[in-house]
Structures are given as structure tokens and as C-alpha cells.
Structure 1
Amino acid sequence: MGTAMEHGRGAVPDMSRPEAGVTLLSEWAAPPGRQEVVADAVAGTWAGRWPGGLLSRSCLTGADGPWVAQLSQWANDDAARAFAASSEPRLAEQVTEAVPGTQWVGTVPYLRCRGRQFGLRRIPGCIVLVGHEFDAPDLVRARQWVDATFALPASGPPPGLISTHFHVSADGSRVLNYAEWTSHDEHRAASVPGAAREQGGAAAREQGTAPAGADSSGHPDPGSWPGPARTTIRRFSPHRHTTGRFRHP
């Protein structure tokens, strides 16, 4: 049995915690200018609910578009899947009813794969979700792609990058990189045309946007690796974060 404790605004989850083997990523498209309202509605649907196996949940608001994201960390794969299949659609419907014009994009379960922290722990002001979608489900291939990306030589992380945390979807059709940055400006600076070339490809590689087989500028070598067919990069601000406090008999 457990209760929930909400942290201050801007707090973020610990994506490196070893017991969090499963992360559910839920996304909404909010009406213009209403991301925070939708994020608060998402948080409100959890009032009084803290399912067994749930470790934390976090809401993020989109910095460059209509997106609202929720990440929930789970210790139990069965509990996460059961929640995604039954409770999540019902809670998502409550959000879309509370804020008319909101669209629920869906929920994808991810398995923790690999992560990397650069230097001392710092407070992130920007979360970048880099999503890679493959042409077909293949869990082995997805994990190998992450391993190959980590194996690429790099001159070091770009300024402002705090950490990267790679996850693969349960069916192997997607890879998610949750990247922490000190600020939106630092990420924008690393993302401008030519930045990857000037930094020896570090920005693209450490964000997970350069596939294995990329040259020193971070540009892909066509046909050298069966990488993702589609990549999306979305920038978010931390909004609300809640963790569970469990009581043992």
C-alpha cells in the first residue's frame, strides 16, 4: 500500500533508478496556449490513485508545440501493462473532457536500456524527448541500435547536456531517448545547422539523433545500418513530479 508525495514545480524523475524497469509515455496535443491546463488536468486524474508497482509520474509541457507528456515509472511490468490497457484510456478520456479540444495521442510502454550522465548532477531546465520509429517491431535490433550508438566515438557532450537515457518499446518498434539539458537555449544552440559538425558530431550522437554509421559530422552513411525510419524531437519544460511513498506491513 502506498501514498503519493508531490515535489516542487520543475522537479524531474530519476531516470537512472535501477528498480524502474518500465516507463509509460503518454502524450496529448493541447489546444493553443493550454499546455499547463492540460498538464494539471492530467495530474488531477491521479488524485487519490496510486497503483501498486508505480514509482513516480511526471508531467512535461511542450516548449515548441501543443504537446503534453506524462512519464510514469513502474517497478512491475505486469502492473504497467495492465494500467496502460485498462485505466489509462479511462483517465485520458477524463482529460479530454476536462479540457475541450485536447487530443490523446496514446501511451507506449518502454523498457529501460542504457543511460549516461555527464559530469556532476545538475537541475535540468529542459527535457528533450527524441523518438525513433523503426519500420517493423524487432526488440533485438532496437537494442543493438542503441548499443551501436553508444559505441560511436565522440569528442564529448555539447554544452548544457546533463544526461541521456535510452529506452526501447516493449515490442522493439521504437527507441526513446530522454535527454536532460540545463536550458532550452543550450539545446537550441546545439541543434542549429552546423553545430554537430563543429562539435565533431557530439550533439547528434549524445542526443541519439545520429544513427550508427554516421560520419564525423553526425550525418548518416546511407545503407550502413538498418536504423529508424522516422525520428521526432520534442522539447519540454518540467511541470509536475510525484513519487510514491510505500508503507510496509
Structure 2
Amino acid sequence: MSRRTEQHPGLADPRVGAPFFSTWRVGTPERQRLTVEAVGRTWERRPWPARDLLGYHVYAGHDGSTLMHYSQWTGEHAYESFVKVHRQERVDEIDTAVPGIERVGLGRYRRYRSRERAVGDARVPGLIVTVRVDFEAEERREEWVDLVVKALGDDPEGHAGLVSAHFHVSTDGAHVLNYAEWESAEAYDRVLAAPSSEAWERVRTYPGVKGRTGSRYQHALGLIPG
């Protein structure tokens, strides 16, 4: 069966071969809440669809109008099988409960590397920040991630509120998605307000970056096999 969990997902789990992120636009904070409830009910009343799905998590955007979905698959083939057999009945039930959901699109990724939480760090993230960075050339993506991870390692005190950061490269070659766990929104805002160091200026001005888009979320629902 499917059951809920309060635990945040482990993004560095080596079993995850196909991490997928998608966004739904639902319009209002109340519709966010209703949609999360509908997703939970829909999944809990059905068997877990595949052993190759390790977890499915939903996040409420601080913008009050979006939901982010993160699913952990062992491989893309397992997701394609789910789509053929199980997905539509779930979509139909959710849409009946909350009509008018706009599904923006599905992003397919592979995790490139992480700045994992320190051993013994038991903090529960109070804020999830995703940053999408678009590149002119595919080979620039991993170089940029390496530069960010080095900058984080050189400035541990300045990023004391950062729990972990996980860098995913899109399978279409176009961009990087950083999923970062922060202790709180206040901790993240302090970092944003701090003077930029030389290392972070190199990250900010890295050649080949076409644009950045950031979003803030709260973990709203976790589903795992029961």
C-alpha cells in the first residue's frame, strides 16, 4: 500500500536513477491545500504502483499558486510503465476533486553531485529552494556545479543555515536544477543579503549561463510504499 511520511526525501540515495520534477499551477493557497489533500487521498487508497518508485513528494510554493512534485524512480523505464497503467486514474480522481489544475511539464534529470548534510546533522529543513540555471552549452553545466560546490566548501560559516544541496542535470542537456534544503527562510535570506565573495562572483558571472529562476517551497506531502 501507499503510506504518508513526514520525512523529507533522501536525494542522494544511490538507488535513484531517474529523479523527476514537475510543477502544477493551482491558483491559490486554498487550492494548494485542497490539491495536496486530493493527492494524498488518491494515493493512499491504492496499492503502491511499482517497486521501482522509491518515493513521491509534493511541495507547496511560497507563491501561493504552485505545487512542485518530486518522484524517485530507479529508472525511466519504470516511470513509463507507471504512465501506461496507473497514472491516468490518479490524475482523473485528483482533477475531479480540484478542477482546473494546470500541469506545466515534467523535467527528467540525473543527479550529478551533492553537498550532503554533515554526519550527525538532524535538522529538519524549514525551507526548500530550487534554482534552475540554463546554459548555452551542455558541457558548461557540470563545470558550473563543480564551481558552486567548491565555493560552498570554502565558505562553510557563511552558509551555516544550508542543510544540503543536490545538483541535477537535465537529460535534455539544457539546464541544472539545484534542490537545496535550508534550516529556515531567515537563514536563506541572510545568505542572500550578505556581501558577495570572490568565489561567488565567479559563480555569478560564469560564462555560458543564460538565466536563473529560483523558487521557494515547503514540504507538504510525502508518500512511500507501505
Q: Please give the range of the TM-score, normalised by the shorter of the 2 chains.
A: 0.7 to 0.9
The SS at the match of 1:19 is coil
1:239 is aligned to 2:220:
yes
Contact 2:136-2:208 within 8 A present in 1 as well: no
Query: Who is 1:111 aligned against?
Result: 110
The aligned runs of 1:56-95 (5 Å cut-off) are: 56-83=55-82, 88=87, 91-92=90-91, 94-95=93-94
CA distance in 2, matches of 1:98, 1:148: 45
1:225 is aligned to 2:216:
no
1:5 is aligned to 2:6:
no
Contact 2:27-2:64 within 8 A present in 1 as well: no
Residue 46 and residue 133 in structure 1: after superposition, are their counterparts in 2 closer, same or farther (change >3 A)? farther
1:150 is aligned to 2:149:
yes
Q: Which runs of 5+ in 2 are unaligned?
A: none
The SS at the match of 2:142 is helix
Name the amino acid aligned to 1:242: L
Name the amino acid aligned to 1:24: F
CA distance in 2, matches of 1:155, 1:86: 48
More helix by share: 2
Residues 29-51 of structure 1: per-residue CA shift (max 9 Å, x gap): 12212212112223334341422
Give 1:80 deviation, angstroms: 2.6
Report the TM-score when normalising by structure 1. 0.76
Q: Percent identity?
A: 30
Query: Who is 2:50 aligned against?
Result: 51
Report the TM-score when normalising by structure 2. 0.83
1:171 is aligned to 2:153:
no
Q: Which runs of 5+ in 1 are unaligned?
A: 206-213
CA distance in 2, matches of 1:106, 1:86: 20
Residues 138-164 of structure 1: per-residue CA shift (max 9 Å, x gap): 3x4433332233244732252311000
Q: For this pair of structures, how many residues does the alignment match?
A: 219
Residue 92 and residue 123 in structure 1: after superposition, are their counterparts in 2 closer, same or farther (change >3 A)? same
Give 1:68 deviation, angstroms: 0.6
1:21 is aligned to 2:2:
no
